[in-house]
Amino acid sequence: MARKVILDMDPGTDDALALLLALSSPELELLGVTTVAGNTSLENTSINARRVLEHVGRGEVPVYRGASGPLARALVTAEHVHGSDGLGGVGLSAPREAPREGAVEFIAGKVYEDPGEVVLIATGPLTNLALLFARYPDVPRLLGELIIMGGAYFQTHYGRGNVTPIAEFNIYNDPEAAQMVINPSVRPHCVGLDVTMNPAGWLGSSEVEKLSRSGSVKARLAARLVQYHVERAGHMEVHDVVAVAAAVDSSMFEWKEMVVEVLTCGEVARGVTAPRRPRSAEAPNAVVCVDADWEWFKGMLLERLMG
């Protein structure tokens, strides 16, 4: 039976690619998309989610707008990475249907409808989730699973920051939210830069060529998204796609339980996800990804998008 999934995201080129993978995976039933400001403004992320869904013929999937900024800080965006519209200027049509309001209420409603069954995959700042847990304190124990793309946990050579030397973008953007969400009652599966910055998982010109030759609308859109980054950096880092792949088959990843402290004080330490020794009888509050089967990942991704 397919896993019931909600994507909480800030599209973003790699979010868009993650959305395409979710739509292409029979293991996942996408209940809806909730949006948050991050890679670009909430207006852009919400419209981008609808643009992608409608472009590939999945306009029936609802999109709900969430938080327009962090809990206690100014928003930091990444248009320098994702383009002024957040989608690399790939030229998708304006959506026919506007995004709806009420991301937090939508997630809570779906969780209450199917307790223990909903998998929430968060690939942006964790503001929506912090608001969800604050307003509906019983939701964390009713979630089937929470998968986060965020953090750098210093577990591999790649586990360093991408917005500061020691902090990852999503956690850095709203560390107070991350502090609320990464806790023992939820114990999220965290896919961070320790794995996503491994070049073995990046996409490049060869993937663009394969995707471009496909007759699939999803593959052709994916090719344009990847090509945008290839032209600028020589490759595309697919952080958010890895989080969705973990929902498809977590056995293709290596995980490590640990206690993680999210630092919020001071600009130097802001957004650091610091592993530490557990105190007496302290339970792990996160399950951190430390490796992946990249051959499986790339093969699965291309097969799904071109299928």
pLDDT digits (tens, 9 = 90+) for 167-195: 999 999 999 999 999 999 999 999 999 99
Residue 98 has pLDDT above 90, yes or no: yes
Q: Which residues constitute the domain of residue 256?
A: 3-306
Mark whether 189 is an active-site residue: no
pLDDT at 280 over 90: no
In 3D, which of 136, 138, 143, 139 has the Cα closest to residue 118?
143
Q: Is 234 left (phi over 0), alpha (psi -120 to 50) or beta?
A: left
Per the confidence metrics, is the pTM higher than 0.75?
A: yes
The number of folded domains in the chain is 1
Per-residue confidence (pLDDT) for residue 267, from 0 to 100: 87
Average pLDDT over residues 83-104: 97
How many angstroms from the chain centroid is the CA of residue 201? 16
Note the pLDDT tens digit of each residue in 115-165.
999 999 999 999 999 999 999 999 999 999 999 999 999 999 999 999 999
Residue 110 has pLDDT above 90, yes or no: yes
Q: Find the mean pLDDT for residues 72-100.
A: 97
* Among 119, 118, 53, 113, CA closest to 87: 53
Distances (CA, A) of 203 to 7, 84, 235, 295: 22, 22, 6, 12
Give the pLDDT score at 227: 98
Is residue 23 within 8 Å of residue 138, measured between CB atoms?
Answer: no
pLDDT reading at 278 higher than 90? no
Among the ranges given (21-35, 124-138, 266-280, 287-301), the one the predictor scored with the smallest mean pLDDT: 266-280
The three-state (H, E, C) secondary structure of 136-175, written as one string: CCCHHHHCCEEEEECCCCCCCCCCCCCCECCECHHHHHCH
Amino acid at 79: E
pLDDT score for 279: 86
Q: How far is CA 203 from the centre of its chain?
A: 17
Sheet with 286-292, side-by-side order of all strands: 100-101, 63-65, 28-35, 3-9, 118-122, 145-149, 189-191, 286-292, 253-262, 273-276
Coil, helix or strand at residue 28: strand
Interatomic CA distance for residues 174 and 66, integer angstroms? 14
Residue that the structure tokens 């209450």 belong to: 112
CATH code of the domain in which 106 resides: 3.90.245.10
Confidence of residue 198 (pLDDT cuts 50, 70, 90): very high
Percent of the chain at pLDDT above 90? Answer: 96
Query: 216-246: string of b/e by CB count within 10 Å (b at 16+)?
Result: bebbbbbbbbbbbbbeeeebbbbbbbbbbbb
Catalytic residue among 55, 82, 189, 239: 239
Question: Average pLDDT, whole number, for the chain?
Answer: 98
**281 band by pLDDT with thresholds 50, 70 and 90:** confident
How far is the C-alpha of 194 from the C-alpha of 45, rounded, in Å? 26
What's the average model confidence in pLDDT over 2-6?
Answer: 98
What percent of the chain stands above pLDDT 70?
100
Q: State the average pLDDT over residues 27-40.
A: 99
What CA–CA distance (Å, rounded) separates 109 from 307? 33
| Angular region, 191: left φ>0, alpha ψ -120 to 50, beta rest | beta
Is the model's pLDDT at 35 over the cut of 90?
A: yes
